[in-house]
Structure 1
Amino acid sequence: MFAPRFVVSMLGALAAFAIATYFLTGSIASTAVQTLLCAVLIQVGYFLAVLFLVWKEARDRRKLSPGQLPADPTNDEKQTGKLSLRRLNRPPHFNS
């Protein structure tokens, strides 16, 4: 998960939620409370998703024996002169 993209998406979803809630309830106070609750739920979900990804990666690394650790892509590039696919699949910088 790419954090800046997530934050922008979350703010967009919260804005849409706030607009819809305001049109349904007509109350700014109720809209603010419900939007705040929605933001907290989104953050909890994001935290749990990141926690799951870290747990899954740690589990996969534990399954590998020390002799089977994946090769370091930077060493592969230096040794063979090939371009690593890992570098090509990285998300672009969020300012570009």
Structure 2
Amino acid sequence: MSFPKFLVGMLGVLIAFAVTTYTLTHSFWTTLIQTVICAVVIQIGYFGAVLFLVMREKSRKATKPKLLPGDEANTQKPQPFNTSATKAP
């Protein structure tokens, strides 16, 4: 998830949380404190998710076999459209 999407989603959740908290407590200060705590919890979760994705990618790259110097010539990228018009005669 990109950061702008996360930011819009987080602001939406915090606004909904603040409105709900204010409706239940009728206290501005309680609403403000609980909304700040909610924002910190969301940020911790986002940081944990990004950290997990980075660690997973590092472990995936570590298990990937490395090519030897002569192996690059043998690897060919597949053609996106393998039709008769794109095949070489």
More helix by percentage: 1
* 1:44 paired residue number: 44
1:48 partner letter: G
Give me the whole-angstrom Cα distance separating, in 1, the residues matched to 2:52 and 2:3. 16
- For structure 2, the 5+ residue unaligned runs are 69-76, 82-89
Unaligned runs of 5+ in 1: 69-75, 84-96
TM-score, length of structure 1 as denominator length: 0.70
> Whose radius of gyration is greater, 1 or 2?
2
What is the aligned length?
74
User: Higher relative CO (CA 8 A, sep ≥ 6), structure 1 or 2?
Assistant: 1
The CA distance in 1 between the partners of 2:31 and 2:67, in whole Å, is 56
* TM-score under structure 2 length normalisation: 0.76
User: For the residues of structure 1 that align with 2:41 and 2:66, how far apart are their CA atoms?
Assistant: 39
Q: How far apart are 1:67 and its partner, in Å? A: 1.9
CA RMSD of aligned residues (A): 2.0
Percent identical across equivalent pairs?
Answer: 47
- Paired amino acid for 1:27: S
